């Protein structure tokens, strides 16, 4: 296991005192010292000899009347990367939280390294050598990397001095062994997302975790950071760690995992080595039916220019230049895809297009929508000019989670005359609107006029937003930012089809996505955004031709955006 | 559904538990709680005077409750009901005192009422302006504005407008007075209950419709739940902050109609007596729902007057304990319900 920076007194004090009142001998609480203690060796059963890191037997978890996990049997081998895939709501997160001790299973048994355990809290799981990197990182931005890692375990008396220098050395050491670089003195708030994630991983390694659970680790990473993460995971595996990867991205599963378990509706529908399965097969298992991974994209016949961005410059309040002479145009009936690594000006472009520029930012150049400038206008005025925006962060910007589905289906469009009646809204036209959109976009919900939007799955929430925006009267231009982020495969298909449909109706669409696959599948033309400017643009003909060989096209785009 | 039932039960459970706790305290003090409660009940419900007192308090408490409840919909915590009521009462009293005697009844009292509402609204708007312009937390600014209101009214009263050797202004013109319920109906004799109760009830109903059934309310609640999403949807959240605070301040200022025009007929130092702060309790117990504010104000009105009526047996502070305990329990239950 190597030397831990946490090798401190607790080893001795707990080694023989694992017995706690209320613990039956069979369900013994184990501590981080388990593998050092004599008692532990007696407890190892045949499972451990076969090298099973995590074994679940008949695991069921119910929340009230909802069964989130149903009768799950799963063996995760030691020294392997085991992926658990499934759509949103399939029960992956619940399962990982049970393993991590955040939830207590309703029925069933868990064995870690062959020993039955009952975790009362994540503390117990951590003591048993389990670590988890959550989807949302939990670092204190004001503290340095070292301080974050030792937080809660400072190796000093209450008023004593913390041996920071020594700690930094130990952390560098640990990082070096796992093959990644990090500056232990850097402030966490200044780190990139990829670096933050490495700090989280390092935290676990310094806690001597042998089983690492990663919940959607690539959701926030750029393609190159993803590759780097995978290299790290492979080297951790080589060092003997067991890695559990929770994800819904099938390409990644096939790229990095040894074994994959597919979950659907709370059950495990299959576990197999990744070498023996293809992506379409996995997708079918996940969704339970055949899905089109690639939507049909009929040729486009663009017409007049709708949006014209001309030499747009954006300077932040701190004086940082985020957009530099950015120019492009979008015609009616085409989808202009912007490919690029996050942080190259996408957010700034979106803010400018939707009239929500933070105070103190300087903007020059021009944006014309149907021949009229939109710079300096408010979102409401821009919307009135025939534009719509489907923002990147749906939860924060596009919906009111506590409002019922029906209200969200016209939120932002509530000023339209059709919905007005007296001082309030016309119940009749609201109901009509709801009924039509729910059917048209296949939005799955029980009672749209009562059910809060927040209770829907991510895919259905996004369908609500799309349904509302694509049906704006007199719309000529739509901004789509990350339209399928956090959306499951089944819903992606519907969403992509609706986007193509909108294009066929002559709407100009700006598509900004970090998924190159999505850009390639949907775009009519593609602009590669790098450092605030379009570095390269693929014409209509080029895009159509290159789409045939997706892998090659993806690599080619990759060259232009890094 | 279960969640809703729990939310619905919270205030009732809180009130019940608070009463049980106070019964325990009364018992510890050597009195029979049942006797005290029944005396209270009789004092309130068995006499016209008692009922009138409760109606009078209900009027003010409803309005100051609304003053907190409306901005609360936008997640703004208006602690300034007291200052807004004070400014409103002072403005209404002065307007009434300076209105010529020949102005007839409805006109004059309407002008005074509007003056009170305007003063209350402007006072609250100050906090709103500070918030949207400089990001000043409204809790702090409204608390501070309470002190300033206290200072301004105190100074103006003492040095300019008080009748010499008293602490009150000269009475309002005859046309500004809102008639008492006793003179209108013959009931509630000699109690301070007056016709302005209609305004209080009307305000609660008006705000209920405004918040839950109007386009304005739709936008306002959205802005309160998710300000950023509302900005994206083209809703001007700053304007909603201003208008909600102004509406709250106006509601508090309307309280002047009850305590000045309907009862005292002049402004007197200390006449608001912390009613504005009681509004916080009223709004919290009601879950910031305008119609429930009526029920919650009724509860506190009964408690307030009932407590006063048994003061000879137990100190009325016990009923302040009930009040405070109720709010603690509501907050506690709400916190416990959230995951």
Contacts of B295 (CB under 8 A, 6+ apart): B286
In a domain, A294, yes or no: no
Q: How far apart are CA A14 and CA A169, in angstroms?
A: 27
Residue A208 clears pLDDT 90, i.e. is over it: no
**Looking at the structure, do residues A257 and A395 belong to the same domain, yes or no?**
no
**Looking at the structure, do residues A345 and A216 belong to the same domain, yes or no?**
no
**Looking at the structure, do residues A347 and A450 belong to the same domain, yes or no?**
yes
Considering its fold, how many domains does chain A have in total? 2
**Looking at the structure, do residues A122 and A180 belong to the same domain, yes or no?**
yes
Q: What per-residue confidence (pLDDT) applies to A294?
A: 65
- Between chains, do B225 and A380 touch, taking CB under 8 Å as contact? no
Decide if B227 touches A, using CB distance below 8 A. Answer: no
Q: How far apart are CA A265 and CA A195, in angstroms?
A: 34
**Looking at the structure, do residues A339 and A281 belong to the same domain, yes or no?**
no
Answer CATH for B32-313 from 1.10.3470, 3.30.360, 3.30.70, 2.60.40: 1.10.3470
Q: What per-residue confidence (pLDDT) applies to A227?
A: 84
Neighbour order of strands in the sheet with A372-373: A321-331, A305-315, A362-369, A372-373
Q: Which of B135, B232, B240, B338 to mutate to test the interface with A (most CBs of A within 10 A)?
A: B232
Decide if B140 touches A, using CB distance below 8 A. Answer: no
**Looking at the structure, do residues A49 and A126 belong to the same domain, yes or no?**
yes
| DSSP-based three-state secondary structure for B266 | coil
- Between chains, do A396 and B226 touch, taking CB under 8 Å as contact? yes
Interval A222-226 mean pLDDT: 75
Q: In terms of C-beta density within 10 A (0-12 exposed, 13-18 middle, 19 or more buried), how is residue B101 classed?
A: exposed
Q: How far apart are CA B65 and CA B81, in angstroms?
A: 8
Q: Rounded to a whole number, what is the distance in angstroms from the first to the last CA of chain B? A: 16
**Looking at the structure, do residues A88 and A233 belong to the same domain, yes or no?**
yes
Q: How far apart are CA A339 and CA A336, in angstroms?
A: 10
Q: In terms of C-beta density within 10 A (0-12 exposed, 13-18 middle, 19 or more buried), how is residue B82 classed?
A: buried
pLDDT digits 0-9 by tens, B34-82: 998 898 899 888 888 999 999 999 999 999 999 999 999 999 999 999 9
What backbone torsions phi and psi does residue A19 show, to the nearest 5 degrees?
Answer: -70, 125
Lowest mean pLDDT among A296-310, A363-377, B217-231, B297-311: A296-310
**Residue A359 CB coordination number (10 Å):** 5
| DSSP-based three-state secondary structure for A56 | strand
Q: What per-residue confidence (pLDDT) applies to B224?
A: 93
Q: Which residue has the higher pLDDT, A347 or A287?
A: A347
**Looking at the structure, do residues A263 and A341 belong to the same domain, yes or no?**
no
**Degrees to nearest 5, angle at CA A396 with A391 and A398:** 45
Q: What is the CATH number of the domain that holds A279?
A: 3.40.50.300
Which of residues A287, A302, A322 is at a domain's end? Answer: A287
In a domain, A380, yes or no: yes
Q: Which of A355, A397, A418 to mutate to test the interface with B (most CBs of B within 10 A)?
A: A397
Residues recorded for chain B:
339
Q: What per-residue confidence (pLDDT) applies to A24?
A: 37
Q: How far apart are CA A271 and CA A458, in angstroms?
A: 25
Strands A259-264 and A267-273: antiparallel
In a domain, A316, yes or no: no
**Looking at the structure, do residues A230 and A349 belong to the same domain, yes or no?**
no
**Looking at the structure, do residues A499 and A428 belong to the same domain, yes or no?**
yes
Cβ contact A423:B215 at 8 Å: yes
In a domain, A1, yes or no: no
Decide if B214 touches A, using CB distance below 8 A. Answer: yes
**Across chain B, what does the average pLDDT equal?**
91
| DSSP-based three-state secondary structure for B170 | coil
Candidate ranges A193-197, A515-519, B127-131; pick with highest mean pLDDT: B127-131
pLDDT digits 0-9 by tens, A80-127: 999 999 877 788 888 998 999 988 899 899 999 988 999 988 888 888
**Residue A211 CB coordination number (10 Å):** 24
Q: What residue spans define the domains of chain B?
A: 32-313
What backbone torsions phi and psi does residue A391 show, to the nearest 5 degrees?
Answer: -75, 160
Which of residues A254, A287, A320 is at a domain's end? Answer: A287
**Looking at the structure, do residues A337 and A222 belong to the same domain, yes or no?**
no
User: For A298-347, what is the HEC assignment?
Assistant: CCCCCCCEEEEEEEEEEECCCCCEEEEEEEEEEECCCEEEEECCCCCCHH
Residue A408 clears pLDDT 90, i.e. is over it: yes
Q: How far apart are CA B248 and CA B76, in angstroms?
A: 11
Q: What per-residue confidence (pLDDT) applies to A436?
A: 92
Q: How far apart are CA A149 and CA A159, in angstroms?
A: 19
Q: How far apart are CA A349 and CA A479, in angstroms?
A: 11
In a domain, A54, yes or no: yes
Decide if A27 touches B, using CB distance below 8 A. Answer: no
Residue A222 clears pLDDT 80, i.e. is over it: no
Prediction ipTM score: 0.84
Q: How far apart are CA B34 and CA B30, in angstroms?
A: 12
Residue A32 clears pLDDT 50, i.e. is over it: no
Decide if B205 touches A, using CB distance below 8 A. Answer: no
**Looking at the structure, do residues A354 and A444 belong to the same domain, yes or no?**
yes
Interval B192-219 mean pLDDT: 95
> What is the domain extent for residue A468?
332-361+370-561
Longest dimension (CA), chain A: 79
């Amino acid at each position: 296991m190597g030397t831990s920076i946490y090798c401190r007194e607790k080893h001795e004090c707990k080694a023989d005192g694992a017995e706690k009142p209320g613990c039956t001998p069979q369900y013994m609480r184990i501590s981080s010292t388990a593998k050092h203690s004599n008692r532990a060796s007696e407890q190892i059963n045949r499972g451990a000899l076969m090298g099973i890191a995590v074994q679940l037997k008949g695991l069921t978890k119910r929340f009230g009347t909802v069964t989130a996990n149903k009768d799950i049997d799963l063996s995760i081998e030691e020294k392997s990367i085991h992926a658990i895939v499934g759509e949103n709501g399939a029960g992956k997160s619940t399962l990982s939280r049970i393993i991590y001790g955040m939830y207590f299973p309703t029925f069933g048994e868990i064995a870690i390294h062959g020993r039955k355990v009952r975790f009362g809290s994540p503390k117990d799981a951590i003591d048993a050598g389990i670590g988890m990197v959550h989807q949302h990182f939990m670092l204190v931005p004001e503290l340095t990397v070292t301080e974050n890692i030792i937080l809660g375990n400072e190796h000093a008396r209450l008023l004593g001095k913390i041996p920071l220098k020594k700690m930094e050395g130990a952390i560098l050491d640990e990082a070096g062994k796992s093959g990644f670089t990090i500056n232990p003195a850097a402030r966490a708030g200044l780190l990139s997302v990829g670096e933050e994630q490495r700090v989280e991983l390092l935290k676990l390694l310094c806690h001597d975790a042998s089983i690492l659970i990663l919940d959607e680790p690539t959701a926030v990473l750029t393609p190159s950071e993803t590759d780097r993460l995978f290299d790290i995971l492979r080297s951790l595996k080589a060092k003997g760690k067991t890695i559990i990867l929770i994800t819904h991205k099938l390409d990644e599963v096939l790229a990095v995992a040894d074994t994959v378990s597919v979950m659907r509706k709370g059950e495990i529908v299959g576990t197999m080595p990744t070498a023996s399965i293809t992506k379409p097969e996995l997708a079918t298992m996940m969704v339970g039916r055949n899905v089109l991974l690639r939507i049909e994209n009929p040729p486009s016949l663009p017409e007049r220019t709708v949006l014209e961005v001309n030499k747009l410059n954006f300077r932040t309040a701190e004086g940082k230049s985020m957009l530099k002479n950015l120019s492009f145009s979008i015609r009616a009936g085409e989808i202009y895809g912007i490919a690029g690594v996050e942080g190259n000006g996408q957010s700034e472009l979106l803010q400018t297009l939707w009239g929500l520029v933070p105070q103190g930012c300087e903007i020059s150049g021009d944006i014309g929508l149907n021949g009229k400038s939109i710079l300096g206008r408010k979102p409401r005025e821009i919307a009135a000019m025939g534009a719509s925006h489907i923002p990147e962060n749906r939860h924060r910007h596009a919906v009111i989670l506590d409002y019922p589905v029906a209200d969200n289906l016209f939120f932002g469009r509530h000023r339209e005359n059709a919905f007005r009646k007296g001082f309030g809204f016309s119940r009749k036209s609201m109901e009509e609107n709801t009924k039509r959109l729910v059917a048209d976009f296949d939005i799955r919900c029980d009672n749209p006029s009562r059910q809060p939007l927040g209770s829907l799955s991510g895919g259905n929430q996004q369908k609500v937003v799309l349904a509302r925006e694509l049906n704006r009267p007199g719309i000529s231009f739509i901004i789509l930012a990350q339209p399928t982020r956090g959306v499951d495969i089944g819903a992606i298909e519907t969403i992509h089809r609706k986007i193509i449909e909108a294009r066929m109706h002559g709407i100009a669409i700006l598509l900004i996505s970090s998924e190159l696959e999505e850009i390639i599948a949907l775009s009519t033309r593609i602009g590669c955004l790098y450092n605030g400017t379009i570095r390269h643009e693929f014409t209509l003909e080029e895009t159509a031709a290159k789409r045939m060989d997706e892998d090659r096209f993806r690599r080619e785009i990759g060259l232009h955006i890094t | 559904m279960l969640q809703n039932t729990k939310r619905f039960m919270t205030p009732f459970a809180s009130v019940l538990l608070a009463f049980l706790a106070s019964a325990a305290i009364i018992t510890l003090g050597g009195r029979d709680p049942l006797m005290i409660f029944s005396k209270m009940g009789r004092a309130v419900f068995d006499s016209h005077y008692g009922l009138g007192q409760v109606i009078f308090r209900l009027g003010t408490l409803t309005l100051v409750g609304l003053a907190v409840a409306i901005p609360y919909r936008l997640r703004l915590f208006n602690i300034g009901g007291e200052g807004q009521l004070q400014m409103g009462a002072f403005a209404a009293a002065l307007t009434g005192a300076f209105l010529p005697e020949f102005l007839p009844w409805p006109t004059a009292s309407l002008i005074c009422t509007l003056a009170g509402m305007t003063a209350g609204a402007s006072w609250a708007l100050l906090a709103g302006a500070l918030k949207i312009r400089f990001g000043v937390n409204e809790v702090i600014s409204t608390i501070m504005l309470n002190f300033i209101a206290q200072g301004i009214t105190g100074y103006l009263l003492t040095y300019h407008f008080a009748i010499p050797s008293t602490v009150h202004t000269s009475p309002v013109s005859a046309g500004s007075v809102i008639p008492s319920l006793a003179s209108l109906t013959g009931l509630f004799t000699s109690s301070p209950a007056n016709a302005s109760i209609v305004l209080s009830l009307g305000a609660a109903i008006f705000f209920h419709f405004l918040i839950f059934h109007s386009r304005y309310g739709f936008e306002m609640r959205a802005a309160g739940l998710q300000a950023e999403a509302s900005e994206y949807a083209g809703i001007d959240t700053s304007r909603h902050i201003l208008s909600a605070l102004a509406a709250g301040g106006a509601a508090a200022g309307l309280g002047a109609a009850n305590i000045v025009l309907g009862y005292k007929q002049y402004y007197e130092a200390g006449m608001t007596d912390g009613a504005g702060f009681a509004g916080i309790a009223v709004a919290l117990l009601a879950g910031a729902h305008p119609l429930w504010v009526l029920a919650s104000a009724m509860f506190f009105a009964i408690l307030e007057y009932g407590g006063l009526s048994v003061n000879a047996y137990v100190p009325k502070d016990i009923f302040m304990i009930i009040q405070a305990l109720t709010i603690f329990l509501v907050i506690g239950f709400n916190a416990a319900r959230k995951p």
